[in-house]
Amino acid sequence: MLFSFALVTENIIATSIAFVLFSLLASSIYVLNDLVDIQEDREHPKKKDRPLASGKVSPKSAKLLIFTLATVVFIFAFLKDILEKDNGQIEYLEESEYTLIESPKKQPSGLIFVGYRNKKIRTKGTRPDTIHLSRVHKQPNRIYSSDGTHPTLSSQESAGRYFVYHDNKVRKLTLKECYRLMGFKDDFKLIGSKAKLYNRVGNSIVIPMVKEIAKQVKEQILNKTDEIIECKKLLKQMSLFDFDNKKDKLAG
């Protein structure tokens, strides 16, 4: 904003809100991690005091948050809904360039891993006979079905090597489709080289998810400001003298 001479109040506010919401989104990942490790954390000398492990926050509340975010992803991130029509500019792979797996399964996240490009796979730290698992293939080599969702775009991928299986063919996502996948509208102005634009979209945030978080913050927090203020008025702040008096009474 500073070097583009766009350091105005509106931009500062918008950027600040985006920063806060992105922080909230990152925090939700920690909620999921704590939910998965709740039993182990309860037995840990330090981690037992975490909100979930200590019981201050119920697993039901944590699941509700995760469910809300996942619902947004399912609504806005189905691949076939953001694909462009073939105008002759779509890049397709030859059949010899990829391998499709048998009986692909839809993951709880909505991902459907259907195959991979015939490139070098990971071998270090992987188990035998796992050649068909998505985790042994680098992101640019994975192929996902357009009937499912798509993983988060990588900020390190400057060539836009995201491939999907659609209409019995394997094709590469276009730059516009990558931006659509992250929730940007088609009239969003793109400035810079293709490589930079791929980097930027991979380093951006999922707009529909941030919008949903903002909606929930408004409904659950901002709209209840009056209730919170009223509640604070009813609370009596205990002074050190009150504490000493009660301590003396207990001692007596």
Q: How far apart are alpha carbons 134 and 114 in whole angstroms?
A: 9
User: Which pLDDT score is estimated for 6?
Assistant: 44
* pLDDT tens-digit series, residues 167-224: 999 999 999 999 998 889 899 999 999 999 999 998 888 888 788 888 887 777 777 6
Q: How many domains does the chain divide into?
A: 2
End of a domain among 54, 76, 98? 76
Phi (first) and psi of residue 33, to 5 degrees: -65, -45
Query: Based on the domain organization, do 60 and 90 belong to the same domain?
Result: no
Do 105 and 132 contact (CB within 8 A), yes or no? no
At 96, the amino acid letter reads S
User: Which pLDDT score is estimated for 113?
Assistant: 93
- Report yes or no on 202 lying in a domain: yes
Report whether pLDDT(106) > 70: yes
Query: Based on the domain organization, do 87 and 120 belong to the same domain?
Result: yes
- Report yes or no on 236 lying in a domain: no
Pairing of strands 163-166, 142-145: parallel
Query: Based on the domain organization, do 91 and 35 belong to the same domain?
Result: no
- Report yes or no on 242 lying in a domain: no
* pLDDT tens-digit series, residues 141-172: 999 999 998 887 888 889 999 999 999 999 99
Mapping DSSP to helix (H, G, I), strand (E, B) and coil, where does residue 63 land?
helix
Total residues found in the chain within this entry = 252
- Residue 109 domain boundaries: 80-206
Which tokens hold the place of 49?
A: 């005091």
Query: Based on the domain organization, do 99 and 184 belong to the same domain?
Result: yes
Output the domain CATH number for residue 86: 3.90.120.10
Kindly report the pTM of this predicted structure.
0.58
- Report yes or no on 234 lying in a domain: no
End of a domain among 27, 48, 76? 76
Of 67, 2, 71, nearest in space to 28 by CA? 67
Query: Based on the domain organization, do 64 and 109 belong to the same domain?
Result: no
